[in-house]
A and B are shown apart, each in its own frame.
Chain A
Amino acid sequence: MPQILEAAGLVKHFGDLVAVGGVDIGISRGETYGLLGPNGAGKTTTISMISGLLEPDAGSISVDGQQITTSSTSGKGAIGLVPQDLAIYPDLTGSENLTFFGRLYGMAGPSLGSRVDEVLEVIGLTDRRDDLTGEYSGGMKRRLNIGIGLLHKPQLLILDEPTVGVDPQSRNAILESVENLSVEGMAVLYTTHYMEEAERLCDRVAIIDEGTIKAEGTRRELVSMVGEKDRISISATGNLGAAAEALSALDGVVGAATSDDGLDILAVDASSILPSILTTVTASGASITGVQVVEPNLEAVFLHLTGKALRD
């Protein structure tokens, strides 16, 4: 299948800091590609270069066969960008926001009007189309933010952590919308630090940390990298940081990190090492409320590859 996005050898420095150190990404039509990594991993810098906002120090980018640079205008028309921060005019209505940005992408006349109606329907804002967006709820603003990005039917839609700070209901609506986009044949580049979103939406995922891609593939391919190792999920309270540190020093433990409700541990053989793990956690001052040995997921892959949790 022909690739919509071809980015090769992307490098970006900010002074002495290497924000992105040689990233390659290729995305095909109809494919949703996830860029999974913690905050500061280089996700936003990478997509800023791909969307023509930032000039790379090295490397090349083409979208739908057209080179992308900060000064090139032709290729940018094939990209739809949904920035992490809201990028809408609060003193314009939802409909006016869409119309203005549609015109910047060369749309005009009745086709623009009907496309605006269509997008408002998709993002569920038809009833509020004539209200100033400053009066919208946070979730509605997020949906409009996405709607502007897909208004001109781009070949490649880039979504930069679109669910950050969104309530669960709106988050689900956003994820459903993104799922439908690949069905329509759009290539989607989705950055997130939420493992569940990457697992749910993406056909392929690249795990990025410290400006480089550590691994790339389908979920199955990535999880297989963990091999025969077991993932142990411990529900616990107390000094979890100290417990994770102590666990990492244990023989047979590949990695340990805190999670939302306790600890995530990747071990070579759960059955043999579990007693030592429980003893270590208790000795570190944490109280255990539950233990599960579960199938490895992308969180476990990240732990395996970097030795730290996604949320670190």
Chain B
Amino acid sequence: MRTALRIAVKDLKLRLRDRSALIIGIIAPLSLAFILNLVFGSAFDPTEGLGLEYGVVDLDQSEISMSFTDVLEEVEADGIMELESFPDAQSADAAIEEGVVDSYFLVEPGFGQAVGTNSPATIQVVGSIDSPTSTQIAASIADQFATGFEAAQLAIATTSQVTSTPVTPEFLESLESEPRTAALSYQFGDMSAATRQLDPTTYMAAGMAVFFLFFTVGFGVLGLLEEERQGTLTRLMAAPIARASVVGGKAILSFILGLISMFVLVVATQLLMGAEWGAPLGVALLVVSGVLSAVGIVGLVAGVAKTPEGAENLSSIIAVILGMLGGVFFQVGQSDDLLSKLTFITPHAWFMRGLADLADGASWTAALPATGAMLIFAVVTGAISWFMLMKRLRR
């Protein structure tokens, strides 16, 4: 153990000297988390509005057109958007020009009558060229409303045919204003566990921390291949030390670098970006088990790679695939689909889930399931990589 520590200390000195570990382990994830939070932070925050500002021009003023406005006002009441009514298209155009609204809905005269007589009826969406996303969302809202009316029209026609009753105002009244019940449903963004509970800043900080962790721990175990190339492994193997000390030294360095990187990122993002990681003991458990699982997985890469360059490439590919699948950049899949379940074959997903479980002041014990899952990753991959690396040193 003492020899393994000596090797780890020597490697730590080398890594601190060439500054690569500092850049990959701390500066890069911190910078990226900061930038991503700046760019996407509010878009991921379900507690804030999406910044959608719409207008509505109802030139029809029929019961049906007013029901459309009512639906939009309901959406506004939910904080999804801000709505402003305009008397005519000209004033709405002027509002777009001035940037007061992104888009507006235009209901032409005769809209209600057209719906009632089963004729084509349209709601126009006029949008600013500078707000394509906002306009697209407005078009989707109008589409959804129109689909509800089409369903209602079909129901009226079918009922009239089946009951052999002509479509009269009395008949329509008897159907209890069917179109009115075609309420607009809306969903912006995924609402599964992690995004529901982690605020965007913490999400970005945690995502970048665990993503770059897989690069950082590579400086330890992948160093074995570097020793092989620069000839120093021959000297280590000729020394009166056990092979396990050499492999152990590299694994210890990986673990130390991973811990330092994660610790600095947790503290820095909390102080500089306001990330809320949760109960310290729970976070510590997640960090330790996350680092161990990363050491195990990168150890597998060291076991199969032939050259340091090959190992770095393979390790980067694995880090990116596992990171994306594990949802470090954005949530992957819906709550119950296959992709969502697949994410949990990555330690990243468990790490993010563990943090989500710790959110809102939960006790440290909430992190135990995710910790356990990551420890299983660590034990399985660690055992296999240990076997492979020991075999590699036995010539």
Contacts and interface: CB of A to CB of B under 8 A. Distances in A.
Given A51-B238, A104-B236, A71 B231 contact: no
B10 to A, nearest CB: 5
Given A51-B238, A73-B242, A92 B13 contact: yes
Interface string B369-395: 000000000000000000000000011
Nearest to B394: A70
Interface string B1-30: 001001000100110011000000000000
B232 interface: yes
B235 interface: yes
Contacts of B18: 91
A123 B240 CA distance: 24
Given A71-B243, A103-B6, A104-B6, A85 B231 contact: yes
Nearest to A54: B395
Contact of B238 (A52, A71, A85): A52
How would you classify the secondary structure of chain A's contact residues: helix, strand, loop or mixed?
A: loop
Nearest to B17: A91
Contact of B234 (A79, A83, A106): A83
Interface residues of A, number: 31
* Most chain A CB inside 10 Å of its own CB: which residue of B239, B241, B242: B239
Given A70-B394, A87-B235, A92 B14 contact: yes
A9 interface: no
A194 interface: no
A76 to B, nearest CB: 4
A74 interface: yes
Contacts of A73: 240-242
B129 to A, nearest CB: 56
A76 B235 contact: no
Interface in A83-109: 83, 85-92, 96, 100-101, 103-106
Contacts of A54: 395
How would you classify the secondary structure of chain B's contact residues: helix, strand, loop or mixed?
A: helix
Interface string A48-91: 00011111000000000000001101111101010101111111
Contact of A105 (B10, B17, B230, B240): B240
Interface in A5-29: none
Contact of A88 (B3, B232, B236, B240): B232
Given A54-B395, A70-B394, A81 B240 contact: no
* Most chain B CB inside 10 Å of its own CB: which residue of A83, A100, A104: A104
B394 A87 contact: no
Contacts of A96: 13
A148 interface: yes
A174 to B, nearest CB: 17
Interface in B269-314: none
A74 B6 CA distance: 19
Contacts of A55: 394-395
Interface in B197-241: 230-232, 234-241
* Most chain B CB inside 10 Å of its own CB: which residue of A51, A54, A83, A89: A89
Contact of B230 (A52, A90, A148): A90
Contact of A106 (B10, B232, B236, B240): B240
A92 B242 CA distance: 23
B231 A87 contact: yes
Contacts of A75: 240
Contact of B231 (A76, A83, A103): A83
A87 B230 contact: yes
A275 B32 CA distance: 83
A48 B239 CA distance: 13
* Most chain A CB inside 10 Å of its own CB: which residue of B234, B237, B240, B242: B240
A87 B232 contact: yes
B7 to A, nearest CB: 8
Contacts of A74: 240
Interface in A136-175: 148
Contacts of A70: 237, 394-395
Given A83-B238, A87-B232, A89-B10, 8 more contacts: A53-B395, A70-B394, A75-B240, A85-B234, A86-B230, A87-B231, A90-B230, A92-B13
8 contacts: A70-B237, A76-B238, A76-B239, A79-B238, A83-B238, A87-B231, A104-B3, A104-B240
Interface of A: 51-55, 70-71, 73-77, 79, 81, 83, 85-92, 96, 100-101, 103-106, 148
* 10 closest A-B pairs by CB: A87-B231, A77-B240, A76-B240, A104-B239, A85-B231, A81-B238, A87-B235, A73-B240, A91-B14, A87-B232
Interface of B: 3, 6, 10, 13-14, 17-18, 230-232, 234-243, 394-395
